[in-house]
Every structure is written in C-alpha cells, then in structure tokens.
C-alpha cells in the first residue's frame, strides 16, 4: 500500500535494558525493608531504569504532553454528546491553557504541544504551529467510506514518526500522550473490536457521556465499521485508512518511532489504547516502552490494554481526554524516579 516498510519496525524496536531492570530490582533489596515496601513506585522505577538503561534512575526533567486533534466523519451519525465537527473548540481550550490537561501540565511541569491532524475548521482559526501537520479537514464516515486515502494515511503515519524524532532529538524524556476529537471513541471501538475479534457491543462505551439512544447509534456505527475493517486486518496502514483517521495513523506512527528511539510514553484513554493495539501488531516489543496512565471506564480501553498486557497506573475513571489521565500519572512516575535517584545506597 505504501513506501513504509512496516515489517522493519519489528527488528528496529528493541527490548528495554533487562540488566538495568534487574539491577534496579536488586537495589531495592538493599535500600528498603521490606524489599517491596515501596510498591508501585518501585516497580515504575524498575521500568524507568530499563527504558533509560541507567541505575539509579535519572530524574524526569523534560516531560511533554502531545495532543493529537481531529474530527471524525462518523460523528455525523450523532454518536457523541458533542456536535459533529466541533473538536476545534476542545483544541483551542488546550492551546489557551484552560483545558484540564493544561492545568495539570502546568502543575507538574510538563510542556504541552497540540497537533491538528484533521480538525474540521479553517486552519486560520488556529496557530500555524498547531495546523502545520494537518492532513485533511475531517475524515470520511467509516461506516460507509474510508476515513482516509492511502496517501493520507501514509502522510499521517510519517508525521507521527517525524514528531517522535523531533521530541527525542529535543531531549524529551517522557511523553504523555493525548487526543482530542469528536467521534474518536467510535473509531477506537471499531479498531479494538476488529483487532480483538469481538462484537461491537463489547467495546461500545459512553465516550463523551452519551445517553442510551446515542449508545445504540454508536454501537450500530461500530458494527458497520467493523464489517469494513475485517477485510484489511492484515495491513495496518490500510486498516487505519479504512476505519481510522489522521490522528489514529499519526499516533500509531508516533508510538512505533518512539519505541525505536527508546523514548518512554504514557498512554491516555481508549484512543491511544486503540493505536497501541495497532502498533503492537507491527512490532510486538513496542508495548515494553509504554505504560497506561489511567483507567477511563471505557470497555474498549480495558479490552485493548488487556490484549497488550498493560495495567493502568491509576483507576479514577478520568475520561476527560486530551491526555488528562496520562498527566495524572506523571507525579507517580516522578516520585519513582526521585526515590531511585535520591535514596542512599
């Protein structure tokens, strides 16, 4: 389908450093009584040691929130509590600092970057640095047509890869992944149901806070998208073009290239979980470079994370999106790094 050699990711993505993980685990035996007394922070320190290849763990000094934004054509079916084509308002709140994720990012010292991949608005309404990577305006209605052309899917995927390289080259030491969209949880449901081989009803969640009638419409849309997804399950880019979107393709490319560059990532909600599931199909070692921030209560997220063997760090039912759940996990990771770095041993 494209000039991207997806199979190469399988060999380019390495495991995190097992020796550093083991050294970190053994170090707690000397530092803490009982050895498991620090619980989850110690486990996270072991993971950070492995992804950094360094013991004790280096402090997290340059965390970065990356928010991929888009509108999805399937929202025209009234599957969301928000009107179709209004994700730009969510993006503006993140840009001006009034969104939950940006409030938390300021509190915890993380930079924020918003990337417009396919918002349904005039690009002049947003800053140039936000719209610089836009692939198209909105996406196709995945129940009856492809979300993207093959060329658009490749462009979005390559954009994600390039952004991962930019962040790694700039010294970002932890990425907190977010997304903003209208219709995105419906798209995520299609991808998760397709890749997990399950029915639409199993992965249809309440998303933006929908009522029962809207839930039924959403379930029907996922069912129809699932029929279109199944014939292209063997080709991940074709799958993202058929029933994904520019944001999904970009996030998938980002996750894979971040793993290649050995840059750790904290996943947020069901959208990033769906992209992680696609990325795992490309490179089975890639999930070793990720942790899941928080459980949102979405059945699709639970299904996807279970398939890639990731357990959310927090279980608070935070479903505001935009990376909020990922950022809430940041202080726990910072605490893990500080304990490893500063406990005398």
Please list the pLDDT of the chain residue by residue as tens digits (345 residues). Answer: 458 999 999 999 999 999 999 999 999 988 888 878 899 999 999 999 999 999 999 999 999 999 999 999 999 999 999 999 999 999 999 999 999 999 999 999 999 999 999 999 999 999 999 999 999 999 999 999 999 999 999 999 999 999 999 999 999 999 999 999 999 999 999 999 999 999 999 999 998 889 999 999 999 999 999 999 999 999 999 999 999 999 999 999 999 999 999 999 999 999 999 999 999 999 999 999 999 999 998 889 999 999 999 999 998 778 888 999 999 999 999 999 999 999 866
Domain 63-329 has CATH 3.10.20.30: no
User: What pLDDT is stored for residue 1 in this prediction?
Assistant: 43
Structure confidence at residue 181 (pLDDT): 96
The C-alpha R_g of the chain, in whole angstroms, comes to: 19
pLDDT at 34: 84
User: Can you tell me the distance from the alpha carbon of 116 to that of 91, in angstroms, rounded to the nearest whole number?
Assistant: 8
In this prediction, residue 345 carries a pLDDT of 61
Give the global pTM: 0.97
Assign 3-class secondary structure to the chain: CCCCCCCHHHHHCCCCCHHHHHHHHHHHHHHCCCCCCCHHHHHHHHHHHHHHCCCCCCCCCCEEEEEEEEECHHHHHCCCCCCCCCHHHHHHHHHHCCCHHHHHHHHHCCEEEEEEEECCCCHHHCCHHHHCCCCCCCCCCCCCCCCCCHHHHHHHHHHHHHHHHHHHHHCCCEEEEEEEEECHHHHHHHHHHHHHCCCHHHHCCCCCCCCHHHHHHHHHHHHHHHHHHHHHCCCHHHHHHHHCCHHHHHHHHHHHHHHHCCCCEEECCHHHHHHHHHHHHHCCCHHHHEEECECCCCHHHHHHHHHCCCCCCECCCCCCCCCHHHHHCHHHHHHHHHHHHHCCC
Considering only the C-alpha atoms of the chain, give the largest distance between any 2 of them, rounded to a whole number of Å. Answer: 61
Please, where in the chain does CATH 3.40.50.10210 lie? 63-329
Query: Can you give the pLDDT at residue 279?
Result: 98
Q: List the Cα angle 155/156/162 in 5-degree steps.
A: 90
Which residue is it, tokens 């910072």?
A: 334
Cis peptide before 124 (omega within 30 of 0): no
């Amino acid at each position: 389908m494209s000039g991207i050699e997806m199979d190469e990711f399988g060999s380019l993505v390495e495991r995190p450093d097992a020796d550093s993980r083991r050294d970190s685990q053994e170090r707690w035996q000397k530092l803490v009584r009982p050895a498991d007394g620090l619980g989850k922070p110690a486990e996270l320190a072991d993971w950070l040691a492995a992804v950094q290849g360094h013991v004790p763990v280096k402090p997290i000094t340059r965390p970065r929130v990356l928010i991929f934004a888009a509108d999805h054509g399937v929202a025209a079916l009234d599957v969301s509590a928000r009107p179709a084509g209004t994700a730009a308002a969510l993006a503006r709140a993140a840009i001006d600092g009034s969104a939950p994720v940006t409030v938390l990012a300021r509190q915890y010292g993380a930079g924020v970057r918003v990337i417009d991949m396919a918002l349904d608005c005039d690009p002049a309404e947003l800053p140039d640095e936000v719209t610089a990577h836009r692939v198209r305006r909105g996406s196709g209605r995945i129940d009856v047509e492809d979300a993207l052309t093959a060329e658009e899917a490749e462009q979005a995927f390559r954009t994600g890869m390039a952004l991962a390289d930019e962040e790694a080259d700039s010294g970002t030491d932890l990425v907190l992944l977010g997304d903003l969209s209208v219709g995105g949880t419906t798209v995520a449901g299609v991808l998760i149901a397709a890749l997990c081989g399950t029915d639409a009803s199993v992965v249809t969640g309440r998303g933006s806070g929908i009522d029962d009638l809207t839930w039924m419409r959403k379930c029907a849309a996922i069912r129809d998208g699932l029929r279109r997804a199944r014939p292209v399950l063997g080709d991940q880019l074709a799958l993202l073009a058929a029933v994904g979107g520019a944001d999904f393709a970009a996030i998938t490319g980002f996750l894979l290239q971040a793993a290649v560059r050995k840059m750790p990532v904290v996943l947020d909600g069901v959208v990033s979980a769906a992209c992680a599931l696609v990325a795992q199909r490309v490179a089975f070692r890639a999930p070793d470079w990720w942790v899941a921030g928080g459980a949102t209560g979405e059945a699709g997220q639970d299904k996807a994370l279970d398939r890639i063997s990731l357990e959310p760090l927090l279980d608070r039912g935070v479903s505001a999106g935009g990376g909020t759940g990922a950022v809430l996990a940041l202080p726990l990771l910072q605490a893990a790094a500080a304990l490893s770095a500063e406990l005398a041993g």
